[in-house]
């Protein structure tokens, strides 16, 4: 009996006793279930990209509508003669806004396009943009079509949708006012706290102080809004006089945002400081440096990239902060450099306009997305900058 | 010459390099002490800020109120028997005498007075006849330290008014719905709205977030798309929440209106058909916390020792079997902790919900996914923005409810974390 035969007999007996031997190949083969699961998990991850694309697409689409939507503005020009339905050329009053060939105008409910101008006589194409030619009486007002230009949006300082003024600087300026106040409070304070916790405090003190400060960052921002309005504003008014400080003002909102981002600055900076190896400190002490000199001249420079990143993230957070400014900074845009006056920030404006009944087919609705896009670009830029700084300038010690 | 320089002289002999810096030493130590004080002061300032925040909330949530009655209940007493002790028949008679005929008929129509309990009739008299009104309210600080001035002010300006110390936060405040009258308003609708939206957000974001984290930690190689996904998630975590609100407004409320208003299921309730529903709000919050859940879950999965996976592979398990039976159970407490932290962020979010269209005034409980909604932080925002001071008081009470909710969630997270670290060590 050969060895092979013996083995087969053995296998048969095993099969009879119920033990299955797989004779399949052990080579890798596709497993449908595993592939499906992996595909599903990939889709979960890819959804985050969809979210980003969705944000960019929606903000971009509505912003495009904002810049292309036709609006009517008063030209102060009128018809000087009756214009029947058939006329394609007529006289208009002399004074008023300048009209040019190709301009779109509206008389009554009819929209026309100017094809030629000669003195006070204009030739038009009647009834465009799905309107019908109508007869108009002498004295009818002529409205001119305008669009919000990107140039106006980015350079003007008045934001007043009622009279068609869309200069983003009124809102950006208020955002900068609150953010600068916030950073002026939070950066020096936050860095000081970080240096104290990392370089001076005992382990026991740190284990108590750090969580206590971090409570501040866990409190909802609407609570800070309440705090700004019922504590910070009355405090400022008591200190500086009720005539100087308005009830709603950017300084109060800004300082409270500073308190909100303080734990973020101190916590991230402290992580950066703690990551500096002990040997650097010991080297500084060995050269006779005092504790302060070691902290400020050795440890802080070594952790500078992390600290800078913390500052930038804090700035991005301050710019995007909404509820504090919506409650305490005031309603209605105002281009002012006085921190004790009310001024509406970008985020505050979005909240105020969207909390009313807003029609989807209106320039107000579109303008929210244009502001949102601006906000998105600024904060994304700052976040990317902070990640770049960490990657590029990080000192790596072993 | 300072003493430390003198010490140095005594110790060192011969040419003394120490002399070069010794004159500076005292100054350097002084500046060291000075800056230490500055650093300590900064830390204390942070803690003072926290204290001021807590105090300002307490300051609004408790205090004296002056209540003035339209009719003094003592004048309603019959034969020197107080209103409190009168039998029901007498109470009905008083009610009939003091309210207009139309109102009396309407009350009779709602539920015949004969069938009402004595307590109910008594409450009606208090509400319709006595009509107590809060004429003024004071903060806790004033109530404690300016008591005499308040008493004088009340007796001067409102001679008929009664001074009472109230806590704006009481059990009634939690179980009564929203109302236009600050004295009767409660946060029931807001709490239920918060719970509904959070539930939707978790159901939406938790499976997807954990799935994405598993993919990035266990499957993703070093390919370009995987790097893009990772960078993208980190950036999404830094996008201001109001931008998510705009996204939710454009996608869930407007584009997917048919889904989020419930019209596709035939729930076309005209009052909510504009898509400003719990479903929209919950999914917006879900998108908002998705990056946080992913990042936290990734950390938890990373912490599972690699040897566990190798052991599982060595036994012939497939990648998914390894993940499902070994990696996930070990990482689960960490994932849950991270999720709870993300949820506590979502509970406090206000701006995106205002943009998505939280209702300014609803008094009925949310009935389901396609109901209008308001949430606790939105309610706080609306009350705080009202011009009347009395709404600040109930805003403070609502803030305490919100903070207690957050505190209990965070305590759960900490307990979970402690349990995990004990088990793994």
Q: Distance between CA A149 and CA A164 in Å, rounded?
A: 12
Task: For residues A362-369, give the mean pLDDT.
Answer: 88
In tens digits, what is the pLDDT along chain B, a chain of 425 residues? 444 555 555 555 555 555 565 778 888 889 999 999 999 999 999 999 999 999 999 988 888 888 877 777 777 777 777 777 777 777 777 777 777 777 778 877 777 777 777 777 777 777 777 777 777 888 888 888 888 888 888 787 777 777 878 888 888 888 888 877 777 888 898 999 999 999 999 999 999 999 999 999 988 888 888 888 888 998 898 899 999 999 999 999 888 887 877 777 766 565 655 788 899 999 999 999 999 999 999 999 999 999 999 999 999 898 899 999 999 988 988 898 889 889 999 999 999 999 998 877 787 788 778 888 889 999 999 999 888 888 888 999 999 999 999 998 888 887 877 776 655 54
Cβ–Cβ of B354/A354 closer than 8 Å? yes
By the CB < 8 Å criterion, does B377 face chain A? yes
Nearest to B241 among A41, A296, A322 (CB): A322
Question: What's the pLDDT at B312?
Answer: 93
Residue in B239, B256, B324 to test binding to A, most A beta-carbons within 10 Å: B239
Q: Which of A136-145, A386-395, B123-132 has the lowest mean pLDDT?
A: B123-132
Three-class DSSP category at B260: helix
Residue B141 is inside which H or E element, if any? helix B140-145
Number of Cβ within a 10 Å radius of residue B71: 13
Question: What's the pLDDT at A3?
Answer: 56
Evaluate if residue A19 carries a pLDDT over 80. no
Residue in B38, B220, B246 to test binding to A, most A beta-carbons within 10 Å: B246
Q: Distance between CA B388 and CA A71 in Å, rounded?
A: 39
What's the predicted TM-score (pTM) here? Answer: 0.84
Cβ–Cβ of B240/A375 closer than 8 Å? yes
Residue in B18, B46, B275 to test binding to A, most A beta-carbons within 10 Å: B46
Question: What's the pLDDT at B1?
Answer: 41
Contacts of A367 in chain B (CB under 8 A): none
More confidently predicted of B95 and A324: A324
Domains of chain A (ranges plus CATH)?
72-146 (2.40.33), 163-393 (1.10.3720.10)
* Residue-range domain boundaries for chain B: 1-40, 61-167, 188-424
Residue B165 backbone phi and psi in degrees, to 5:
-90, 125
Cβ–Cβ of B380/A223 closer than 8 Å? yes
Options 3.10.450.50, 3.40.50.300, 3.20.10.10, 1.10.3720.10; which CATH number does B188-424 get?
Answer: 1.10.3720.10
- Of B412, B403, B410, nearest to B187 by C-alpha is B403
Question: What's the pLDDT at B3?
Answer: 47
DSSP conformation letters of B12-75: --SS-THHHHHHHHHHHHHHHHHHHHHHHHHHHHHHHHHHHHHHHHHHHHEEEEEEEESS-GGG
Q: Which of A45-49, A182-186, B370-374 has the lowest mean pLDDT?
A: B370-374
pLDDT digits (tens, 9 = 90+) for A283-309: 999 998 999 999 999 999 999 999 999
Contacts of B244 in chain A (CB under 8 A): 55
By the CB < 8 Å criterion, does B318 face chain A? yes
- B164-201 b/e (C-beta count within 10 Å ≥ 16 → b): eebebbeeebeebbbeeebbebbbbbbbbbbebbbebb
The 3-state secondary structure of chain A reads CCHHHHHHHHHHHHHHCCCCCCCCCCCCCCCHHHHHHHHHHHHHHHHHHHHHHHHHHHHHHHHHHHHHCCEEEEEEEEECCCECCCCCEEEECCCCCCCCCCCEEEECCEEEEEEEEECCEEEEEEEECCCCCCCECCCCEEEEEECCCHHHHHHCCCEEHHHCEECCHHHHHHHHHHHHHHHHHHHHHHHHHHHHHHHHCCHHHHHHHHHHHHHHHHCCHHHHHHHHHHHHHHHHHHHHCCCCCCCCCHHHHHHHHHHHHHHHHHHHHHHHHHCCCHHHHHHHHHCCCCHHHHHHHHHHHHCHHHHHHHHHHHHHHHHHCCHHHHHHCCCCCCCCCCCCCCCCCHHHHHHHHHHCCCCCCCHHHHHHHHHHHHHHHHHHHHHHHHHHHHHHHCCCCC
Tokens of A26: 């052990």
Distances, alpha carbon B132 to alpha carbons A83, B94, B127, B128, in Å? 68, 17, 7, 9
Cβ–Cβ of B32/A293 closer than 8 Å? yes
- At A15, the pLDDT band (50, 70, 90 cuts) reads low
Residue B339 is inside which H or E element, if any? helix B328-348
ipTM (interface predicted TM): 0.84
Q: Distance between CA B2 and CA A162 in Å, rounded?
A: 72
Report the gap between the CA of B49 and the closest CA in chain A (Å).
7
Tokens of B71: 């009719």
Residue A73 backbone phi and psi in degrees, to 5:
-125, 150
More confidently predicted of A134 and A219: A219
Q: Distance between CA B49 and CA B58 in Å, rounded?
A: 14
Contacts of B246 in chain A (CB under 8 A): 55, 58-59, 350, 368-369, 372
By the CB < 8 Å criterion, does B51 face chain A? no
Cβ–Cβ of B212/A327 closer than 8 Å? no
Percent of chain A having pLDDT more than 70?
A: 93
Q: Distance between CA A38 and CA A48 in Å, rounded?
A: 16
Evaluate if residue A262 carries a pLDDT over 90. yes
Question: In degrees, to the nearest 5, what angle opens at C-alpha B202 toward C-alphas B200 and B207?
Answer: 120
DSSP annotation of B183:
T
Laid out side by side, the sheet with B132-137 consists of B132-137, B62-69, B162-167
Evaluate if residue A350 carries a pLDDT over 90. yes
Question: What's the pLDDT at B421?
Answer: 61
Contacts of B385 in chain A (CB under 8 A): 326-327
Nearest to B384 among A31, A226, A288 (CB): A226
Contacts of B393 in chain A (CB under 8 A): none
């Amino acid at each position: 009996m050969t060895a092979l035969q013996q083995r087969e007999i053995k296998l048969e007996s095993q099969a009879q006793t119920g033990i299955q031997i797989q004779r399949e190949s052990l080579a890798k083969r596709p497993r449908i279930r595993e592939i499906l699961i992996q595909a599903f998990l990939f889709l979960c991850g890819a959804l985050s990209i969809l979210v980003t694309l969705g944000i960019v697409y929606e903000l971009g689409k509505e912003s495009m509508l904002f810049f292309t939507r036709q609006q009517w503005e008063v030209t102060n020009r009128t018809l000087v003669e009756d214009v029947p339905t058939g006329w394609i050329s007529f006289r208009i009053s002399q004074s008023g806004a300048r009209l040019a060939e190709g301009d779109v105008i509206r008389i009554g409910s009819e929209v026309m396009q100017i094809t030629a101008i000669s003195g006070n006589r204009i030739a038009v194409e009647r009834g465009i943009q799905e309107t019908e030619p109508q007869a108009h009486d002498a004295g009818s007002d002529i409205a001119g079509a305008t669009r919000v230009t990107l140039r106006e949006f980015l350079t003007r300082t008045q934001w007043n949708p009622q009279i068609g003024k869309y200069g983003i600087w009124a809102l950006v300026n208020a955002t900068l006012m609150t953010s600068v106040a916030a950073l002026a409070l939070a950066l020096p304070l936050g860095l000081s706290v970080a240096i104290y916790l990392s370089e001076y405090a005992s382990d026991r003190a740190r284990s108590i102080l750090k969580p206590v400060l971090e409570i501040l960052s866990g409190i909802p921002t609407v609570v800070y809004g309440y705090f700004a309005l019922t504590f910070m504003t009355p405090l400022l008014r008591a200190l500086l006089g009720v005539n100087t400080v308005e009830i709603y003002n950017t300084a109060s909102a800004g300082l409270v945002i500073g308190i909100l981002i303080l734990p973020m600055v101190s916590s991230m900076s402290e992580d950066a400081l703690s990551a500096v190896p002990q040997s650097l400190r010991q080297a500084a002490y060995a050269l006779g440096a005092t504790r302060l000199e070691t902290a400020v001249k050795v440890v802080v420079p070594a952790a500078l990239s992390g600290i800078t990143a913390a500052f930038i993230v804090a700035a991005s957070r301050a710019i995007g902060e909404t509820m504090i400014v919506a409650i305490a900074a005031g309603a209605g845009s105002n281009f002012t450099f006085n921190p004790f006056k009310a001024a509406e920030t970008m985020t505050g404006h979005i909240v105020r306009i969207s909390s009313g009944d807003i029609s989807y087919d209106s320039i107000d609705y579109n303008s929210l997305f244009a502001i949102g896009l601006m906000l998105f670009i600024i904060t994304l830029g700052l976040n990317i900058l902070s990640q770049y700084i960490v990657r590029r300038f990080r000192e790596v010690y072993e | 010459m300072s003493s430390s320089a003198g010490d140095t002289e005594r110790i060192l002999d011969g040419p003394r390099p120490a002399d070069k810096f010794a004159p500076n030493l005292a100054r350097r130590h002084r500046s060291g002490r000075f800056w230490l004080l500055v650093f300590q002061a900064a830390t204390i300032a942070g803690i003072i800020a926290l204290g001021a925040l807590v105090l300002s909330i307490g300051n609004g949530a408790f205090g004296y109120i002056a209540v003035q009655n339209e009719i003094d209940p003592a004048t309603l007493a019959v034969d020197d028997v107080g209103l409190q002790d009168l039998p029901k028949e007498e109470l009905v008679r008083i009610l009939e005498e003091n309210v207009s005929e139309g109102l009396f008929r309407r009350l009779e129509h709602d539920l015949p007075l004969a069938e009402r309990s004595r307590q109910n009739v008594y409450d009606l008299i208090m509400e319709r006849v006595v009509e107590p009104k809060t004429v003024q309210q004071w903060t806790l600080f004033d109530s404690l330290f300016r008591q005499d001035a308040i008493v004088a002010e009340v007796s001067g300006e409102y001679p008929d008014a009664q001074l009472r110390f109230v806590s704006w936060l009481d059990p009634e405040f939690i179980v009564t719905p929203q109302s236009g009258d600050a004295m009767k308003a409660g946060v029931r609708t807001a709490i239920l709205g918060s719970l509904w939206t959070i539930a939707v957000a978790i159901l939406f974001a938790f499976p997807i977030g954990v799935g994405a984290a598993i993919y990035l930690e266990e499957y993703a190689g070093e390919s370009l798309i995987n790097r893009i996904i990772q960078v993208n998630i980190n950036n999404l975590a830094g996008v201001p929440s109001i931008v998510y609100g705009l996204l939710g407004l454009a996608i869930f409320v407007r584009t997917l209106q048919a889904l989020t208003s419930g019209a596709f299921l035939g729930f076309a309730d005209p009052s909510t058909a504009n898509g400003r529903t719990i479903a929209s709000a919950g999914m917006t919050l879900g998108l908002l916390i998705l990056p946080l859940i992913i990042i936290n879950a990734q950390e938890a999965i990373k912490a599972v020792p690699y040897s566990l996976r190798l052991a599982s592979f060595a036994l012939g398990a497939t990648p998914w079997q390894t993940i499902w039976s070994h990696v996930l159970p070990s990482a689960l407490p960490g994932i849950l902790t991270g999720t709870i932290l993300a949820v506590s962020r979502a509970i406090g979010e206000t701006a995106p919900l205002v943009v998505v269209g939280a209702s300014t005034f609803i008094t009925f409980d949310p009935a389901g996914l396609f109901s209008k909604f308001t949430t606790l932080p939105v309610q706080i925002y609306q009350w705080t923005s009202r011009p009347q001071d009395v709404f600040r008081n109930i805003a403070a009470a609502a803030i305490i409810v919100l903070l207690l909710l957050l505190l209990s969630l965070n305590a759960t997270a900490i307990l979970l974390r402690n349990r995990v670290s004990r088990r793994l060590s």
